[in-house]
Amino acid sequence: MDNFLWGVVAGVFGIAALVFFAVTLFKRGALTFKIDGFYSHVVDGDVGPFIRDVQADVPDAPTCALDDRMSCSIRDAVQCHNAVDRPDCDVLLLSGGGQWGAFGAGLFDTLSRNSGNELALPGIGVITGISTGSLQALMLMVALDPKQTPAMRRYALDRLVWGYSPQRESDVVTHTGLIGVPLFGSAAGTSRLRRRVIEALMPEGDERLIAAIGISSIEGFVGFVEAERGVFRYADIKELVQSAPSAKAAAEALAAATMASSAMPVFHQQLRVAGSDERALTLYDGGVRRSVFFDRAMAAVDREVRKQMQGHPIARVAGGATQAAIAQDYEETAPTVYVVRNGPTVRKREEALNTSSGPLKNGQRGYDLLVNESEIGAIAGLRLNNPYGRILLTSADQYDTFPSDVGENFKKGEMFKPAFMARLRDLGRHKAERDGGAWWPLSRIEPG
C-alpha cells in the first residue's frame, strides 16, 4: 500500500510538473512597447462632477482640472461654433467593439463616397476613440479633415476599410479561445494585431498617412486604463506623431496607444508601454471604464456653452427667460456631438442558458450583459452633462435583420470573423443610405 501511495504522490507531482512546464512554455508574456516620451502626452481623465460626488468620502479623491489639450479643444469647439465661418466645431465619439468596428468603417466609407468630395461628415473638430474606436479615430482624423485633399481623405478611408477586412482571423490575432486562458494567459495573442495596425498606418512604408495625422486640423484622443491605479487616461494623437523622431517611430507610438485602448484583460494578451526613463505600465482596454469619452468632454461642453450664453440677448431678458427658451438657446450654442456605437445596444436571446450550464457559457453571458449595460449607460449618460445640446447616435443594431446578401449575419466564438465583418461593413452602407440617414437624436432633458 505504501508503494501504491508513493506512486500516486509521484504521479500527482509528475502531472503538476508537466502542467507547470506547459504553462511556462506556452503562456504568452506581455506585449511591450518602448516609446520615448509616451506618458508626457497622456492625461488622467477627469471623473466628472457626479462621480466626484459619489467619491466625496474617498481620501485623496481626484479633483477637477479642466486645463489639458482635450478640454482646450472642447472649449475651442464651442467658441468656434459661435463664430462666423467656422464650421469645424462638432465632436465625434467612437465606441469600442472589436470586430464590430467594421460597421463604422462601412458607414464612413459610404458617407464619404456619397458626399461628392470624399468628406463623410463635415464640421468635426474633435474625435475621441475607445478600443476599436481608437483605430477609427486615427484614420478619421484625416478622412474628416476638410484641409486634406479629397484624394488623401479617400486614401485614409481605404486604409480604414482595409483594417476591418481581414482574409482570416489569424491575420489579426492568434485566437486560442477562453478555454486556453489557463495555459496561454489570454484568449488571444496580439502580436499580429500590432503588425496589422502599423501596416494600416504605413502600407509598404508609405508615410503619407502618418504625416497627415500629425498636421490634421482635427484634435484626436484615445483612451485606456492604467491597471496599477485603475484610472482612465487618454493620449493626444497629434502630439504622439509630432514628437516622434520618425514616421516609423510615430506609427509605433500610435500602435501602442490604440492597442492599449484595445487590450481587454483575459481576452487580449497583456500589454505594457514604457516611456523614456519610466517603468513599463500595464494598460487595459478603455472600455473597462468608458464606452465613450463622456465625462470630461460633456462637462467641458456644458461649461463653455453656459459661458457663451451669458452674452446672448436671451440671457439678459428682464425677469429671466423661460426654461424652454434657455434650452433652445443652449442647443443653438452647443456643437453637435455625434456618437458611433460600434456594436448593438441589446443582447440577443440565449434560450439555451435555461437548459444547459457551464462556467464559460455563464461567465461569457454575464460579461456580455455587464459590458452592454456599461456601453448604453455611458451613451445615455452624455445627457447628464449636456442637457439640451444636439447628440446624434448611430449603432450596429439590425445587423441580423437588415436586407443583405453580403457575408454572414452570425458569429460564434470568433474574435474577428471575416464573413461577419463583411456583413457589418454592409450594415454601415445600409444605414448611411437608408431613408432618414444613419443618425438619430437623443432626447434632450425637458425643462420643467
Residue 248 domain-assigned? yes
Element (H, E) at 408: none
Query: Cell 486562458 identifies what position?
Result: 181
Q: d(Cα 163, Cα 166) in Å, to the nearest integer?
A: 7
User: Do 371 and 287 form a contact (C-beta atoms < 8 A)?
Assistant: yes
Q: Are 142 and 209 in contact, with CB atoms under 8 Å apart?
A: yes
Q: Tell me the per-residue pLDDT of 64-99, one tens digit each, with 9 for 90 and over.
A: 665 666 767 777 777 666 665 555 688 899 999 999
In the predicted model, what is the mean pLDDT of residues 337-357? 89
Tell whether the model's pLDDT for residue 128 goes beyond 70: yes
State the Cα angle at 307 between 303 and 310, rounded to 5°.
140
Alpha-carbon span 186 to 175, nearest angstrom? 9
Residue 16 maps to a domain: no
Alpha-carbon span 337 to 390, nearest angstrom = 6
Intra-chain end-to-end CA distance of the chain, in Å: 83
Domain containing 319 — which CATH number?
3.40.1090.10
Q: Among 172-176, 227-231, 395-399, name the most confident range.
A: 395-399
For residues 250, 253, 254, 256, the Cα torsion angle rounded to the nearest 10 degrees is: 160
pLDDT tier, 380 (very low <50, low <70, confident <90, very high otherwise): confident
Query: Is residue 280 situated within a structural domain?
Result: yes
pLDDT tens, position by position, 194-225: 999 999 999 999 999 999 999 999 999 999 99
- Composition of the chain by helix, strand, coil, percent to 5: 50, 15, 35
Does residue 150 sit within a domain? yes
Count CA atoms closer than 13 A to 12's CA, side-chain side: 5
In a domain, 226, yes or no: yes
C-alpha cell at 292: 465613450
Q: Which tens digit of pLDDT belongs to each residue from 176-185?
A: 888 888 888 8
> Is 254 inside a domain boundary?
yes
Across 117-132, average pLDDT: 92
| Cβ–Cβ < 8 Å for 392, 429 | no
Judge whether residue 329 has pLDDT over 60: yes
- Kindly state whether residue 10 falls inside one of the protein's structural domains: no
What residue type is assigned to position 321 of the chain? A
Do the bridges between strand 271-274 and strand 188-189 make them parallel or antiparallel, or are there none, so unpaired?
Answer: unpaired
Residue 2 lies in a domain: no
How many structural domains comprise the chain? 1
Which pLDDT score, from 0 to 100, does residue 67 have?
60
Q: Identify whether the C-beta of residue 333 lies closer than 8 Å to the C-beta of residue 308.
A: yes
DSSP secondary structure string, 260-316?
A: HHH--TTTB--EEEE-SSSPPEEEEEGGGT-SS--HHHHHHHHHHHHHHHTTSGGGG
What is the C-alpha separation between 213 and 237, in angstroms, rounded? 8
Spatial distance between the Cα atoms of 133 and 136, rounded to a whole number of angstroms: 5
Distance in angstroms (rounded) separating the CA atoms of residues 431 and 435: 8
Predicted pLDDT of residue 23: 43
Q: What tens digit of pLDDT does each residue of 291-300 get? A: 777 656 666 7
Domain that holds residue 141: 30-62+72-441
In this prediction, residue 8 has a pLDDT band, given cuts at 50, 70 and 90, of low
pLDDT attached to residue 383: 84
Q: What is the pTM of this model?
A: 0.88
Contacts of residue 392, Cβ cutoff 8 Å, sequence gap at least 6: 336, 337, 338, 339, 439, 440, 441, 442
Give residue for cell 439590425. Answer: 398
Phi/psi of residue 177, each to 5°? 85, 165
Average pLDDT value over all residues in the chain: 85
Residues 261-280: what's their mean pLDDT? 86
Instruction: Tell which wins on pLDDT, 308 or 424.
Output: 424
**How is 107-126 classified by DSSP, letter by letter?**
HHHHHHHTTSSS-SSTTEEE
| Residue 341 grid cell | 456605437
Closest Cα to residue 92, out of 293, 252, 344, 324? Answer: 293
Phi then psi dihedrals of residue 245, to 5 deg: -75, -15
Axis crossing angle, helix 101-113 with helix 150-163, rounded to the nearest 10: 150
